[in-house]
Amino acid sequence: MLSGDEIEFYTGEELEDRQVVRPGDYIFTPAGVVHVAVNRSPTPAVFVVARNEPAARECEVMRPELDARVP
């Protein structure tokens, strides 16, 4: 995370794992891992994101049934 206050980063099949990410932190998310980032601050969270798969956007799967799992 380059700048911002902090975000909550949820991972796992049911989004059961929660991390607080702050500026200077690094996040690694393996391929296929369900994840969501939540910024509860009015300050934008700025990241550098890198993917190693050229067609990455084509493999995204939305999981609206998990929306209620993030408080």
Q: Give the separation between CA 21 and CA 40, rounded to whole angstroms.
A: 12
Q: What is the pLDDT of residues 41-65, one digit of tens each?
A: 999 999 998 877 776 666 778 889 9
Q: What is the pLDDT of residue 27?
A: 94
Q: What is the pLDDT of residue 30?
A: 87
In this structure, the number of other CB atoms found within 10 A of the CB of residue 29 comes to 13
